[in-house]
Amino acid sequence: MENVLRPLIVVGGALALTLLLGWLADLLLRRANARHPETPLWGLLRRCRPPLQVVLLTAILRGAYRQTELDIIQDHEAGIGQVLSLVLIASTAWLVLRAAAAAVESTYARYASMSADRARVRRVRTQVTLIMRIVTAVVCVVAGAAMLLTFPELRAVGTSMLASAGIIGIVAGVAAQSTLGNLFAGFQIAFGDMVRLGDTVVVDGEWGVIDEVTLTVVAVRTWDERRITMPVSYFTSQPFENWSRGGVQMTGSVFLQLDHRAPLGLMRKKTEEILEHCEAWDRRSWSLAVTDSTATTMEVRVVVTARDADDIWTARCTVREQLLVWLAEEHPYALPRVTTGPADPVPPRPSGGLLGKDGTAAADDPRELPDTGRG
């Protein structure tokens, strides 16, 4: 009877103690969240309950599994302890990552709620995203190394490899030169404020928004919902346009090719009317001027302002479309056209069919052609 009760007491007690401690931790976090609603940290830390319970249960079983005194456990004591150690290391890494993510998200949420500068908020968001990726990579590497070191065979192998670690490091550095370059470029982007999540950029002739930034690649979402994945080193070695740099307000131009008779005064009044009903215009400024002239047309430029890159695109399209519709309906003569004239009359063909060099009719019979000295 004791052989049955002892394992049940050990396993059941470990499970009950784990559930109790997890419930108490969740209760304390709920109360802390209710007392401090200004910070979301305590609410986010409640996500750590599952990994915390796994850590507690594994740790308790790791220390008490020998007390079951079962024959199968005594026969495989080393293997069971090895498995529990691996689970404990993995669950601890899971718990650390959940806690780090909660702290990072809480910091970003508080900063975003207090800051009115959208550019700085995007900068902090980019930095905390890359910091979280670095923390994840470091924790995973440490956890993997710790799990490997639990195997006695791998300890001896690791000790013997320390002597050649310098050579291996040099070889790995040369082989991974491009990868390491992208890695350091990722740090430069994160803390050098070169690009941020949500920035509007023009790279390689494509207009888009920074959608994702990792330690090695940057994803740009274009206006037609395509994703362009580029190495991070591109943004540190190649020129690119960042429309969100130095402020989100923008100025855009609309160019129209019109006839010289276009009513410029009426066009200015119509442009002002269009902008008054355009929500994308930020009411800062606008202008209309003739910037160039050719033999057949003149170039009219309309300059408008907007709050950001998306609004400037909308404002430009609205002004261009409505001005062209208005000109086509009210002043069609102002639109460019191709000027043509009557062609010169073609002289009638002589009855003989062929013309001589002097324009007179040539003989119909080739034998009557003048001698050209060709024998």
Take residue 270 and report the two structure tokens written for it. Answer: 């119509």
Domain containing residue 298: CATH number: 3.30.70.100
261 found inside a domain: yes
Does residue 164 lie within any of the structural domains?
no
Alpha helices in 244-344 (DSSP H): 264-276, 309-330
Position 161 confidence tier, pLDDT thresholds 50, 70, 90: very low
Q: Are 229 and 217 a contacting pair, CB within 8 Å?
A: yes
Asked if residue 227 and residue 101 are part of one domain, the reply reads no
Within a domain: 337: no
Looking at per-residue pLDDT, the higher value among 183 and 100 belongs to 100
pTM higher than the cut 0.95: no
**221 and 291 assigned to the same domain:** no
Q: Which two tokens stand for residue 198?
A: 């949500």
Bridge-based pairing of strands 200-203 and 206-213 is antiparallel
Q: Which residue has the higher pLDDT, 339 or 97?
A: 97
How far apart CA 95 and CA 225 sit, in angstroms, is: 36
Cα gap 276→283, rounded to integer Å: 8
In-domain check, residue 59: yes
Please tell me which residue, 219 or 10, carries the higher pLDDT value.
219
- Total number of domains in the chain: 3
End-to-end CA distance of the chain: 136
CA distance 307 to 248: 6
For residues 210 and 268, membership in a common domain is answered with no
Which residues make Cβ contacts (< 8 Å) with residue 169, sequence separation at least 6?
A: none
The full length of the chain comes to 375
pLDDT at 375 over 50: no
Residue 175 has pLDDT above 50, yes or no: no
The answer to whether residue 82 sits within a structural domain is: yes
CATH code of the domain containing 224: 2.30.30
Looking at the fold, whether 134 and 258 belong to one and the same domain comes out as no
Check whether 128 has a pLDDT greater than 90: no
Q: Could you read off the pLDDT of 64-121 as tens digits, one per residue? A: 766 666 666 666 667 777 788 888 889 899 989 988 888 888 877 877 777 666 666 7
Is residue 6 located within the same domain as residue 122?
A: yes
Count of alpha carbons within 13 Å of 259, Cβ hemisphere only?
15
pLDDT higher than threshold 70 for residue 248: no
CA 286 to centroid of chain Cα atoms: 32
pLDDT 10s digits, 22-72:
888 888 888 887 887 777 777 777 888 888 888 888 888 777 766 666 666
Question: Quick check: is 189 in a domain?
Answer: no
Rounded to the nearest 10 degrees, the angle between the axes of helix 264-276 and helix 309-330 is 130
Strand order in the sheet with 206-213: 227-231, 217-222, 206-213, 200-203, 241-242
Are 36 and 140 part of one and the same domain?
A: yes
User: Is residue 303 located within the same domain as residue 228?
Assistant: no
The CA distance from 79 to 66, in Å, is 12
Is 94 found in the same domain as 209? Answer: no
Instruction: Clarify whether residues 214 and 256 are in a common domain.
Output: no
pLDDT averaged over every residue in the chain: 76
165 in any annotated domain: no
Q: For residue 172, is pLDDT > 50?
A: no
More confident residue, 40 or 361: 40
Q: Are residues 204 and 271 in the same domain?
A: no
119 and 236 together in one domain? no
Q: In this structure, is residue 232 part of a structural domain? A: yes
Q: Is residue 162 very low, low, confident or very high in pLDDT (cuts 50, 70, 90)?
A: very low
Can you tell me the distance from the alpha carbon of 126 to that of 158, in angstroms, rounded to the nearest whole number?
Answer: 37
Domain boundary among 150, 178, 213: 150
44: containing domain: 1-150
Output the pLDDT for position 179.
54
**What's the pLDDT tens digit per position in 279-325?**
989 888 999 999 999 888 999 999 999 887 778 889 999 999 999 99
Q: Is there a single domain that holds both residue 209 and residue 234? A: yes
